[in-house]
Amino acid sequence: MKERALGRPASFISASLMLLLSGCSNLDILNPKGSVGLAERDLIATSVWAMLIVVVPVILMTLFFAWRYRASNRNAEYKPGWTHSTAVEVVVWTIPTLIILFLAVLTWRTTHELDPYRPLESQVKPINVEVVALDWKWLFIYPDLGIASVNQLAIPVGTPVNFRITSDTVMNSFFIPQLGGQIYAMAGMQTRLHLIADHAGDYAGVAANFSGKGFSDMKFRTLAETPEDFNAWVAKVRASSDRLDMDRYHAVSEPSEKDPVRYFSTVDPKLFNNIIARYNNGNVIDNMKDANCAPKG
């Protein structure tokens, strides 16, 4: 009878764990494909291990004390007048203090090393991409190439990417989990982000800030390709008959859901700045820090 009673909770716990872990089969943020994403994953792991130094002993001691001083244990020493232990005080204050100091140094160092505004050091010339968050799609402009795309971002492997990011609608957040970084896009402002893909692949890009009814389908694909494949992608975009000037942009920016990938063979070179300037009487705010808003990275 006892075995049957114990078996039910065990089965319930096992089923619960399997259910919880079934949603973790594709944790992109823990499977980085770029140096920034790798550094962020290591930071998460280091912070968790530091936290477990306190959490695990507390859980174990709680279980031990509950067992050791249970009502049925007549051998446990009872000290109703106990008030102080120097050894306990040293442990209770020293370990958390050391952990806090460690996390403080770690936070200071990584905050500067992983600053999204900090350009990546590389011998390879970076590529520039301008990103515009719309309802409910993403527009990518390549100012140096004179092309643009909707809901598809292509970048060459091993090449730093300098992003300038804004929104022509409500606030959103630009995020490619496997490459790292997450930063806000806001109307009338531009934020910056620097990423690099170290491995070729097709990576998910998402809107990480709720922005209305079409938010759940506001996704894009990031194609990290070899230089040859990237050049072929550029040629395919340039073969498109669609052109993106300011008039065409007004139609593209209209709210729509589940938009397919679209290419534009030519782009108004002032389009990105004109989108920002619409909200600032011609004055472009260079970044969100100027507006007392900290970027999220």
Per-residue pLDDT at 186: 94
Per-residue pLDDT at 77: 81
CB 165 within 8 A of CB 220: no
Structural domains of the chain, with CATH: 29-68+87-114 (no CATH), 127-291 (2.60.40.420)
Per-residue pLDDT at 26: 63
User: Which stretches in the chain have pLDDT values below 50?
Assistant: 1-7, 9-25, 282, 288-297
Per-residue pLDDT at 80: 77
Per-residue pLDDT at 72: 87
Give the Cβ contact number of residue 195 at 10 Å: 22
Per-residue pLDDT at 31: 87
Burial of 106 (C-beta count, 10 Å sphere; 0-12/13-18/19+): middle
What count of Cα atoms within 13 Å lies in the side-chain half-sphere of residue 242? 17
Q: Left, alpha or beta for 52 (phi > 0: left; psi -120 to 50: alpha)?
A: alpha
Per-residue pLDDT at 22: 41
| DSSP annotation string for 3-53 | HHHHHHHHHHHHHHHHHHHHTTTT-GGGS--SHHHHHHHHHHHHHHHHHHH
Per-residue pLDDT at 281: 65
Per-residue pLDDT at 172: 94
What is the pTM (predicted TM-score) of this model? Answer: 0.77
Per-residue pLDDT at 84: 83
Per-residue pLDDT at 152: 97
